[in-house]
Amino acid sequence: MAAGRSTAELERFLAERADHLLRTAVLLAGNREAGEDLLQTAVERLLRRWGRIDGDPEGYVRRTLCNLAIDGYRRAGRWRQKERLLRTELRQPQDATGDVDLRDALVRLLVQLPARQRAVLVLRYWEQLTDAEAAAVLGCSEGTVKSSGSRGLARLRELADGWTDTAAMSGRNGKRS
Amino acid sequence: MSTDVEDLLREGMERFTADLRAPAGLTCQIVRRRRRRRLALRSLTGAGMALSAGAVALAVVVVPSPPHGGIDLTADVVKHVNSALTAADPGDIAQMSVTTSSASPYGGEATTTTAEEWSYGDQWRSVTYSSPGHPLYDEGYTASASSPVYTLVNYSTRTWTKRPGLGRPAAAIPFSTLPASRGCRPAIGAFPLLYKFGLPGIGLPASTLPSTVARSLRTAVACGTLTIAGRQSIDGIETIKLTSRPGSFISETIWVSPSTYLPVRVVARSASGAPAVQQTANITWLPPTAQNLAKLTVPIPAGFRKVSLSAVAAPTFRQISPALLPRPRAFCLMPAVNACGNPPLPVGGPPLGSGYR
């Protein structure tokens, strides 16, 4: 019966936390499909170790999600294809009048950051972890988290500036025509 | 600017993912995905093994004596079946429809009993029918936090009972005496319903939970007595047919799906020299959705009376005429097993339906 209880606990955990973890996974992966894929892989690993995990299973899944994302989760295959597709989408925004919300744009631009920087930003600004907590999840020093976060934000700023310039240009062009 | 970007990023993350909901049945999806991936991996590494399986299997049909390579192929298919069953336990609910046909060696009419069975993890349910659509017994174990709960409904006496723990009546036919060398047991010894002659609990030791169908089949295929006997279409699926090798004490045939390697049908026949008894189990593998999980619960029909376990089972014992009790050796499927020469069985009889038609 022990296995049954464990399964029930797992189901309960997933029922309570899967939505949030999916959101984390999607932010790390860049889109829903890749995020679901990432979460499934992480939960699959959780399943394998379910009976042996001490402490917070959510922490384990979060750490696995980040590691998978950083280690270049399916980078050679589907991921790169999707990344290219995303970039295409970003280069050709559907709303050419520049009326695209910068908040959405920033999240979409996350995908262009190196995986570790992306993971740091997701942990800091979505999971609301401190630098120390993020460092523990990523298995690196606090200094690395700080520098990665800083570089990530700087890069986002550049990308955002480019985005707003392009959007403004598109807007102007739109008005002209 | 930095703070602006941070705030915007935070809000953007919230908004970007606001409508995301994890798909229902995530665990089931993962289990299926693992199975699919394993199978895909095997297909790749096996370099067309599945295709050659079909070709060689057909060759086995044409040529009665398989080539040496056939043995390896069988081992490979059996290994895949074993892996698929491992993944299905407890990933899927096994739903079995079992028909027992018995040509009576005592001058009586041949009888047929039908039953349905579901198993999933530690949950198990079995419904035995006296005739199509008319249940006779409905029994099962429901998993609970502390211990399993056994429920038995007797439709002929309109009574029911429920009690915690392993409360199933004792096995009347000592199937536990089936040989189990190196953890190997034929499917017939592991299926609670196979050769279940009408009394609740027959075929199962009272002290153990019923094995899941997946586990039972896995034990059976591990015996190493199966060999590929070709391909055959079962309900539109071009299945791989595995049969027990000549000389096995029980003749068993298992049809497995070539895409999932899960068994879809099992037929067990008594060995030569014993009365003709055949059991056919059609197996469906169901995802553990709420609707399917509900099938594991024994419903108590309205108006039925709650009684003790012995009161539910006792009327059944009395309805079976002693004249119909089989001689022990007659039902023995394994002449070589010492249990077959034991004193007459305490209870037993023809398949369930015969007493109620």
- Asked if the Cβ–Cβ distance from A122 to B13 is below 8 Å, we say yes
Q: What is the pLDDT along chain B (357 residues), one digit of tens a residue?
A: 445 788 888 888 887 787 778 877 777 777 776 666 666 555 444 433 433 333 333 333 333 333 333 335 677 778 888 888 888 877 788 887 877 776 654 445 666 777 788 888 778 888 888 777 788 888 888 876 667 788 888 888 899 988 776 555 543 333 333 444 445 555 554 444 333 344 443 334 334 455 567 777 777 777 777 888 888 888 877 788 888 877 666 678 889 887 788 889 988 776 655 556 677 888 888 888 888 889 989 999 999 999 887 776 654 444 444 444 343 333 333 222 222 233 333 333 333 322 222
**Cβ contacts of residue A111 below 8 Å, gap of 6+?**
A30, A31, A83, A86, A87, A118
Average pLDDT over residues A90-103: 45
The whole-number pLDDT of residue A164 equals 59
What does the pLDDT read at residue B83? 83
Per CB-CB distance under 8 Å, the chain B contacts of A14 are: 22, 26-27
Residue B205, pLDDT score:
38
pLDDT of residue B299: 93
Cα-only R_g, chain A: 19
> Nearest-CA distance from A19 to chain B in Å?
5
Distance CA B221, CA B224 (A): 6
Q: Which 8-state DSSP code applies to residue B202?
A: T
Q: How many alpha carbons fall within 13 Å on the CB side of residue B302?
A: 0
Are B119 and B210 a contacting pair, CB within 8 Å? yes
Could you tell me if A14 lies within 8 Å of chain B, comparing CB atoms?
yes
Do the chains contact at B29 and A23, CB–CB below 8 Å?
Answer: no
Using CB atoms, which residue from A11, A18, A103 is nearest to B8? A103
Residues 6 or more apart in contact with residue B34 via CB below 8 angstroms: A44, B87
Cross-strand partners of A171: none
Q: Tell me what pLDDT residue A120 has.
A: 93
A22, A27, A44: residue with CB nearest B34? A44
The shortest CB-CB distance from B22 to any of A18, A103, A156 is to A18
- What is the structure's pLDDT at B168? 54
**B90: its two tokens:** 């407890």
Chains A, B: CB contacts under 8 A, how many? 100
- In A, minimum Cα distance to B12 occurs at A103
pLDDT number for residue B39: 62
Q: Other CB atoms closer than 10 Å to residue A15's CB: what's the count? A: 12
pLDDT score for A31: 77
What is the rounded CA–CA span in Å between residue B283 and residue B90? 15
Half-sphere exposure of B174 (CA within 13 A, CB side): 15
The alpha carbon dihedral of A63, A65, A68, A71 has a sign of negative
pLDDT of res. A144: 92
10 Å CB burial of residue B28 (0-12, 13-18, 19+) is middle
pLDDT for res B252: 81
What residues form DSSP beta bridges with B112?
A: B101
* Cβ contact B257:B264 at 8 Å: yes
B13, B21, B27 ranked by CB distance to A19: nearest: B21
Q: Is B16 in contact with A27 (Cβ distance < 8 A)?
A: yes
Closest Cα in chain B to A122: B13
Q: Is B27 in contact with A10 (Cβ distance < 8 A)?
A: yes
Mean pLDDT of A2-26: 77
**What's the pLDDT score for residue A121?**
93
For residue B256, give the nearest of B71, B76, B70 by alpha carbon: B76
Q: What is the pLDDT of residue B102?
A: 65
CB spacing of A47 vs B27 below 8 angstroms:
yes
A73-82: pLDDT as tens digits: 545 444 444 4
Calculate how close chain B gets to A172, using CA atoms only, in Å. 24
| Higher-scoring residue by pLDDT: A136, A75 | A136
What whole-number distance in Å separates Cα of residue A171 and Cα of residue A173? 5
Going by pLDDT thresholds of 50, 70 and 90, the confidence category of residue A172 is: very low
**Cβ partners under 8 Å of residue A25, min gap 6:** A35, A36, A38, A39, A42, A65
What letter does residue A126 receive in the DSSP assignment?
I
List of chain B residues whose C-beta atoms are within 8 Å of the C-beta of residue A43: 26-27, 30
pLDDT at B303: 94
Tell me if chain B has a CB within 8 Å of the CB of A102.
yes
DSSP letter assigned to residue B175? G
pLDDT average, residue stretch A151-176: 64
Task: Output the pLDDT for position B314.
Answer: 56
Helices of type H across chain A: 2-29, 32-49, 57-70, 80-91, 102-109, 115-121, 131-138, 142-176
Residue listed under structure tokens 């972890």: A129
By Cβ distance, the residue of B12, B27, B29 closest to A106 is B12
First to last CA, chain B: 86
Contacts of A37 in chain B (CB under 8 A): none
Rounded distance, CA B310 to CA B152, Å? 11
The pLDDT value given to residue A97: 35
Tell me the shortest Cα–Cα distance from A163 to chain B, in angstroms.
13
For residue A122, the model assigns a pLDDT of: 92
